[in-house]
Structure 1
């Protein structure tokens, strides 16, 4: 039995992010906090996916969710950025490319 963590097989336990995945996510998060756009985050590991949710204000619904769904890796890609209304803003196999959705947008809080 091989113990290679990069082999695909049945997932045991919750899906979560590893350090190489969290680094670019936290870099984007830090940039958006510095710009005053985001104020809080939450991470959760579920049976089929991991989620990094960002909030404009503590207690609000998530403004954006970054999801990792390993089962979709060979299809449309395991990474997705999902907007407030549940719409998929970008999906792909390459996390840094998917996170570029935040580079192209000018965020404004509408009161």
Structure 2
């Protein structure tokens, strides 16, 4: 009789090859994006799905650096929060576990005084 170790019977699960935004997360992001485009603030976006992070970048013009980056980092889920909003200069504006709460910082830019 062969005695096998438990690790040989059940190999550890593979980590995902890349991190991506889920459809519900993209719905929240695209809802905000559409309102900001209608307000004339944003004009273009880009998405990246990498091994440890998924990034949604927002641009004022296509040929410049992103104004904001919305990042999803599953490794930070239990520590600082799964989502982060990062400004053009690299400053973290908000981190959290709830995407809507993190994006609320940008919602304030839509509220303006009417003259």
Instruction: Give the C-alpha shift of residue 11 in structure 1.
Output: 2.5
Match of 1:40 in 2: 44
Query: Which consecutive unaligned segments of at least 5 residues does structure 1 have?
Result: 1-8
Q: Quick one: distance in 2 between partners of 1:29 and 1:106?
A: 11
Greater share of helix: 2
Q: Indicate how the Cα distance of structure 1 residues 106 and 31 shifts in structure 2: closer, same or farther if over 3 A, else same.
A: closer
Could you tell me whether the CA contact under 8 Å between 2:39 and 2:110 is conserved in 1? Answer: no
Partners of 2:16 and 2:23 in 1: CA distance: 19
Is 1:82 aligned to residue 106 of structure 2? no
Distance between the aligned counterparts of 1:93 and 1:10, measured in 2?
Answer: 24
Aligned length: 99
Deviations 1:25-69 (A, max 9, x none): 000100100000000000000110000000001111000000000
Q: Matched residues in 1 for 2:14 and 2:94: separation?
A: 26
Question: CA offsets per residue over residues 3-33 of structure 1, 9 Å max, x none?
Answer: xxxxxx7522110001011000000100100
Which stretch shows the higher mean deviation, 96-105 or 23-32? Answer: 96-105
Alignment RMSD, CA only? 1.5
